[in-house]
Amino acid sequence: MLKNLRKLISYYKPYMGTFLLDMFFAVIASAISLVIPLVVRYITSDVIYMEQGAKERIINLGIVLVILVVIQFFANYYITNIGHVMGAKMEYNMRAEIFAHFQKLSFSFFDDQKVGQLMSRITNDLFEISELLHHGPENIVISFIKIIGAFIILMGISKYLTAAAFILVPFMFLYVFLLNRRMRKAFKENRKKIAEINSRTEDNLSGIRVVKSFANEEIELEKFKEGNDGFLQAKKNSYLYLGLFHSGMTAFILLVNIVVIITGAVLISDGYVQIPDFIAFLLYINTFTEPIRVLVDFTEQFQNGYTGFERFTEILNIEPDIKDKKDAVDISDVKGDITFNDVSFKYKDGAHRVLRHIDLDISAGSYVALVGSSGGGKTTLCSLIPRFYDVTGGSIKIDGKDIRDIRIKSLRDHIGIVQQDVYLFAGTVIENISYGKPGSTREEIIEAAKLANAHDFIMELPNGYDTDIGQRGIKLSGGQKQRLSIARVFLKNPPILIFDEATSALDNESENIVKESLEKLAKNRTTIVIAHRLSTVRNAERILVLTENGIEESGTHDELMNKGGIYASLYKWNA
């Protein structure tokens, strides 16, 4: 916990000037709250009994009180406005930090995560943290100043009444301590349940077309109800402790007032306390009990904010399993020779190896096809080249250099990937194509679209290249989306290409157009094609048959057909 608190405090560093001013105005505001009852006591105990000049003194003191109220107004304005902006800036920095960290994490992290839960950490959790960062310190400062100041002043008024007022305080804090741990656990469970609901909602809305196509709205409602019920139960649990907490504190504060009133009445009747002192004491009792109530609210705020911060740091503490070596270098003038030396790989949660002792040489500029049954490791093998995953045995080299010795960005800058499941971002056509090479001119983007056979259909869209294509390109057909993804790679212009079943989900007409674009793109580049329809790779220079046992066959289409082995059987089944 100490390490987390140090990390939490570090976010104040860029805003130390604002923070110190915030604390200064918090001190001023709380000091004025202490001074006002003193002035009231002075008026009721001394000024009204003056034989001369009482009215003038009261008017002057009234002016002083108004000035103090104005000063307090500006102090509270700074705390509420500038202080809140400071909290928002901290939230901004933390959100930027966790988002940047997400970008560093590898595929293996996202394989185990749900997008909705990650979103919850960026939104809900961080808001509660920023509220804690802003309000927490000032609430503590204001409360302690008021409590200590009130205690000193109360002691000056009457030691007997002060003893009566403070007799219940130790029991009050013991009560808080006993409930504190259970509240923290309950609030942490709330965070998890909110994240689960966010995840369930994101999953449903992303797949709403599948839901409706199967008419499974009732099933989705039931699944959501299950998560919602869990959230409600967690809320009930936290509100149980919160109810005990607030009602207990309210009862303690009322008991303090009751004890003071009864004790004061007895002391007045015995002549130990004067009525003006008793009135001032009652005013200060409110000044004393109000910060205790603030500290109580702070405890709830701390539980909310700190449990959110724990979830925040859980992500930041995850080290990316794929990162640059200290002496990693950039590469240039890449020819495209790819060598697999005794490569093995298994996923971290997998019991068996996906790839076993793969040895493979792909010469620069060659066109190689990977075929085999599903689950044979074709996509995994290609994912190792750009280091989406790292080999668990052996090595992969590009132009004779181990890819682990190359900076990840430099490595991936030289590899273009066209996948079966095309992802287009919400925005315009031109924004999506330019993703392949940020900063490209409009002319370069249009040229890339022409090479990808996409220009004609783009010009038929309502606003041409400036047409908004919707979330994930929902307004486009499968073939159109695929051609935009190919245009992105044309714009990138990498020396190494990977086509991961890029045409398997398309109709014949779209497939032929996309296939033409792919062949144009593959010219003079090292190209690896993962093929689902074997008829699409008949012209490959070399076809590799990958199974659980490794690369079992290699050759041209004719050679493998004449051999009558695995490839020939696969071709007869799905060509």
- What is the C-alpha to C-alpha distance for residues 35 and 59, in angstroms, rounded to an integer? 17
On the question of pLDDT at 522 being above 60, the answer is yes
Q: Which residues have a Cβ under 8 Å from the Cβ of 419 and sit 6 or more positions away? A: 485, 500, 501, 502
Share of the chain above pLDDT 90, in %: 12
pLDDT for residue 509: 65
Lowest mean pLDDT among 101-110, 288-297, 336-345, 357-366: 288-297
Q: Which residues have a Cβ under 8 Å from the Cβ of 372 and sit 6 or more positions away? A: 378, 545, 546, 547, 566, 570
Q: State the pTM of this model.
A: 0.71
What would the mean pLDDT of 467-471 be, rounded to a whole number? 85
What would the mean pLDDT of 479-506 be, rounded to a whole number? 81
**Higher local confidence (pLDDT), 478 or 446:** 446
Domains of the chain (ranges, CATH numbers): 2-316 (1.20.1560.10), 338-574 (3.40.50.300)
pLDDT for residue 404: 93
pLDDT for residue 407: 92
pLDDT for residue 337: 93
* Residue 116 phi, psi (nearest 5): -60, -35
On the question of pLDDT at 575 being above 60, the answer is no
**For residue 49, with 0-12 CB atoms within 10 Å meaning exposed, 13-18 middle and 19 or more buried, which class applies?**
exposed
Lowest mean pLDDT among 184-198, 226-240, 425-439, 524-538: 184-198
Q: DSSP string spanning 84-113?
A: HHHHHHHHHHHHHHHHHHHHHS-HHHHHT-
pLDDT for residue 350: 58
291 pLDDT band (50/70/90 cuts)? confident
User: What's the mean per-residue pLDDT of the chain?
Assistant: 83
How many other C-beta atoms lie within 10 A of the C-beta of residue 354?
Answer: 19
What would the mean pLDDT of 335-355 be, rounded to a whole number? 81
On the question of pLDDT at 194 being above 60, the answer is yes
504 pLDDT band (50/70/90 cuts)? low
Share of the chain above pLDDT 70, in %: 95
Tokens of 352: 């068996």
* Residue 224 phi, psi (nearest 5): -65, -40
